Structure 1
Amino acid sequence: KYISSTIWHMTARAFAVDLGVIINTGFFSPTASKKHGLNLGMSISNYGTKMKYDGIDLIRPIDILPDEAGNFRDVPGQFRLQDWELPLIFRLGVSINPIVRGNQQVTLSVDALHPNNNSESVNVGMQYAVLLPTLGKLFLRGGYKALFMEKSEYGLSLGGGVIMNLFGNKKIKIDYAFRNVGILGNAHSYGVSFLF
């Protein structure tokens, strides 16, 4: 991916990639199906070049001896800015479906985050799904973000969703989530997706 940041006439650019893998192990599956077993996931985000601002706003006239006459007052000088790393983050996650009975399924997940610009943290979550014959699926979700992070502004989140069958293989997905975002207060997130 290409990343660019501009402040007036200064620009910083970088190239980065996100890489990840998911492994469906089939271990601990209550149905002996590989899709209901233990899943492992790993990813690395923002692996790439450093960023550094450059541009004409960094060039300023400099008078080397402002109290002396007869010198060059408008010698062009350029500020040198330091470069910085992109916020690189490594994630390792595990999920499992401990309960799969008829039209009901419970999914538990845990992921650990190791960023280069913050403290390490852990996210945990659970989803309860019910298959509604001919209608679609209903979901109830809960989780906690940024466990063990120093001075975290995150915390508990609760939500739900529904996938409704429309016609043929067309579906509509509606999601809602409530979460506390520290000093920003409570946040409500809504999502609508069309699946085909």
Structure 2
Amino acid sequence: MKKLIILLLLIAFGLSGYAEEAFAPVGTSTGQFLTIGVGGREVALGEAVTALTQGAGAVFWNPSGVVDASTNDLYAAYNQWPAGIHVGALAYAYADPRIGTFSVNAKYVNFGEMEITTVEDPNGIGQMLQMTNYAIGLTYGRYLTDRVSMGLTGKLVKEKYGANGYTTLAWDVGLIYRAPFRNLKIGMSILNFSNKVQYSGTYINYSNSDSYLTNTELPFDYWSLPMTFRFGAVIDVFEAGPNKMIAAVDMVHPNDNVEQYNIGIEYAYDAMIFLRMGYRLTAYEGGFSAGFGLKWNMITLDYAISALGHLGLTNRLSLGFNL
């Protein structure tokens, strides 16, 4: 067991080091919808949630957190994204104390309608572009010891724009350690681990005179998915009667951007009313987020508002049912 944990950590740090560049390699991966954060609680906390995310919704951040789901855990999340784009996520988890927790989950993007344009007809050709972005996954998580849990997700990722698209298999893996001091938890996850993908079909490269002048169609290049290594911790900083406050911090290392640091705090009253605030320290656009949560019996409602710089503010909502 100890050797397995050490091996996972070595792999994670190795991948993190491999992704490191002297510059920000922005625009070098596809499947960017996989990086859009879902969940009112997680986003309100500045996405500093690798160690604290739990239940069915944990599969989108750290699959190890699914072990804390109830016997039947339902989760739904919705994002209001700029330009009329909508992002949604659904998850169901079933927990069996003997064998572990299983989850089926999905994430999708609805782009609405967009007219096709070309170099010859920049105002549109009268046809609408059909766009598809989704990922459907199966997750398994269980406690390796009384303090360590592990989770693994295999997911089918599909992205298609008109006649050009790809379908591939990707993996998420996560680990959470629970210490006996102030409910300290340390977590790590690797998300979107996959082979490189190639879009189907061909295209004309208008910046290449040979391709443009001869009307030669070229195959698409191979692209990586946005593989991300996350490492974080969460701890209780204050507790008195019904009042409780926790603080969380994350380090996020993507393969297509610079390293990012996230922080978040959450105040809870009687485990029913929650106020949250977070900040992504190295975010290029925006960074600040805030929100609240309400918990009543088996129902949990979480809301977040987050800044996206020049793109304005976005609203994110999630709803959980513990049956």
CA distance in 2, matches of 1:6, 1:175: 31
1:170-190 alpha-carbon deviations (Å, 9 max, x no partner): x22222222222122122333
Give the counterpart letter for 1:88 in structure 2: M
SS at match of 2:310: helix
Match of 2:111 in 1: none
Match of 2:272 in 1: 137
SS at match of 2:272: strand
Superposition TM-score, scaled by structure 2 size: 0.46
Give the counterpart letter for 2:274 in structure 1: F
CA distance in 2, matches of 1:14, 1:194: 31
* 1:29-178 mapped onto 2 (5 Å cutoff): 29=182, 36=183, 38-55=184-201, 57=202, 79-131=218-270, 137-145=272-280, 147-149=281-283, 152-165=284-297, 171-178=298-305
Give the counterpart letter for 2:233 in structure 1: V
SS at match of 2:301: strand
Give the counterpart letter for 2:248 in structure 1: S
1:146-174 alpha-carbon deviations (Å, 9 max, x no partner): x124xx11221111111013xxxxx2222
Give the counterpart letter for 1:180 in structure 2: A
1:74-114 alpha-carbon deviations (Å, 9 max, x no partner): xxx76232101111100000110021222221110000100
Match of 2:209 in 1: none
CA distance in 2, matches of 1:178, 1:5: 27
Give the counterpart letter for 1:91 in structure 2: R
- Stretches of structure 2 lacking an aligned partner (at least 5 in a row): 1-154, 205-215
- Call closer, same or farther: CA 1:191–1:9 in 2, change over 3 Å: closer
CA distance in 2, matches of 1:78, 1:194: 51
- Stretches of structure 1 lacking an aligned partner (at least 5 in a row): 30-35, 60-76, 166-170
- Aligned pair count? 161
Q: Of the two, which has the highest radius of gyration?
A: 1
1:4-54 alpha-carbon deviations (Å, 9 max, x no partner): 222333332221100001100123x2xxxxxx2x21000000101111022
CA distance in 2, matches of 1:8, 1:179: 31
Match of 2:176 in 1: 22
* Structure with the higher helix share, 1 or 2: 2
CA distance in 2, matches of 1:89, 1:120: 10
CA distance in 2, matches of 1:190, 1:93: 23
Give the counterpart letter for 1:162 in structure 2: L
- Call closer, same or farther: CA 1:115–1:162 in 2, change over 3 Å: same
CA distance in 2, matches of 1:189, 1:81: 34
- Call closer, same or farther: CA 1:173–1:112 in 2, change over 3 Å: same
Higher relative contact order (CA 8 A, sep 6+): 2
Give the counterpart letter for 2:161 in structure 1: I
Match of 2:3 in 1: none
Match of 1:63 in 2: none
Aligned sequence identity (%): 35
CA distance in 1, matches of 2:317, 2:179: 33
CA distance in 1, matches of 2:293, 2:165: 41
CA distance in 2, matches of 1:130, 1:195: 20
CA distance in 1, matches of 2:319, 2:218: 48
